[in-house]
Amino acid sequence: MLQIDDTIVSLALIEKKFSCDLSACKGSCCRYGDTGAPLTQEEASTLDRIWPELKPFLRPEGIRAVEMTGTSMKDIEGELVTPLINNEECAYTILEEDVYKCGIETAYNAGAVDFIKPLSCHLFPVRIKRYRDFSAVNYEEWSICRPGVDSGIKRDVELCIFLRDPLVRAFGQEWYNKLLWAAGEYGRYK
């Protein structure tokens, strides 16, 4: 583990190779899971605000799921998450050919909304768990992401490099620079 400011960071972020390969995994992280994608209260409020502009980008079954449960919901543990279609796939997914993609991100790229997607989705397969005095930044190794691991190895891309933008979004550029410095030092002494 590394400590950067008030975060504890798994060494997997600098040791593991990763680069999403949507053509191989088909966007399985948007389709399978125990619950919807984790949301902050601010993100839930944002989804409420942008719903009218977001709706035209979604599939009918996603729209129905949101209209039934709301733009966010609480899971079994009382945490805010995105709603699901048939208790399986995120209500905000779209299908392009046979690949699940984020409809929120599609709307963002089209200039229709000002929110790229939930941070938990942007960071996946990394998750942040916030505690009272610190945050833990961990890599979740899922079998559905094996194509991303294989692609990262083939392209020689570290997980922290692949996730640069969402890590900067979560913690800021200065924090990210410290992570890269720590990775360099770790590599020198490993």
pLDDT value at residue 48: 97
Q: Are residues 32 and 111 in the same domain?
A: yes
> Structural domain tally of the chain?
2
Q: Are residues 33 and 109 in the same domain?
A: yes
- Note whether 53 and 102 are within 8 A (CB): no
Q: Are residues 52 and 110 in the same domain?
A: yes
Token couple for 190: 């490993």
From CA 162, how far away is CA 155, in angstroms rounded? 11
Q: Which of 116, 137, 159 finishes a domain?
A: 116
Q: Are residues 146 and 177 in the same domain?
A: yes
Q: Are residues 67 and 149 in the same domain?
A: no
Domain coverage including residue 148? 1-18+125-190
10-residue block means of pLDDT along the chain (190 residues)? 92 94 86 86 97 97 95 93 92 93 96 96 92 93 90 95 96 96 78
Q: Are residues 14 and 70 in the same domain?
A: no
Q: Which of 116, 133, 167 finishes a domain?
A: 116
pLDDT value at residue 106: 96
Cβ count within 10 A of residue 165: 12
Question: In terms of DSSP bridges, do strands 135-139 and 7-9 run parallel, antiparallel, or are they unpaired?
Answer: parallel
pLDDT value at residue 184: 86
Q: pTM, whole model, 2 decimals?
A: 0.89
Alpha carbon distances (Å) from 125 to 18, 101, 110, 150: 9, 15, 25, 14
Q: Are residues 7 and 31 in the same domain?
A: no
Q: Are residues 129 and 109 in the same domain?
A: no
